[in-house]
Amino acid sequence: MDAALLITLYIVITMIVQAIGFLVSRLVDYEWPEAGLMTFLILFMGAFWLAWPIASRTFDWLWGDRPLRGEDEATRAGRVAGKPLAFQRELDKRPAPTSNL
């Protein structure tokens, strides 16, 4: 769940940074037409590079205080290790298939 939230946050922030870069390149293109395309390409590629640190810091800001939200050390260790939590184990239990022979 954490990875999905982080990737979604990265995509949204990338879209915002791309929009800002597009507007800046349009302003440059209006003033200096010969520099507009190069500005757009630099800002386009830079948006992907810039969005990741912003997304990871935003994710830590939103979800980094889990002990304050009630997560104990055992739950944290299980989450970091990728092990299913207790309530997930019960959900994963499937009834044994029965044979109708």
Q: What is the pLDDT of residues 34-51, one digit of tens each?
A: 988 899 999 999 999 999
Q: Is the pLDDT of residue 89 over 60?
A: no
Residue 59 lies in a domain: yes
Cα–Cα distance between 34 and 54 in angstroms, integer? 31
Residue 52 inside a domain? The answer is yes
**Rounded (5°) CA angle 76-73-64:** 50
Q: Is residue 95 part of a domain?
A: no
Kindly state the average pLDDT of the residues 2-11. 88
pLDDT at 44: 93
CA–CA separation, 19 and 96 (whole Å): 53
- Residue 70 maps to a domain: no
Looking at the domain assignment, is residue 98 inside a domain? no
What range does the domain containing 21 cover? 1-63
Number of domains in the chain: 1
Residue 80 lies in a domain: no
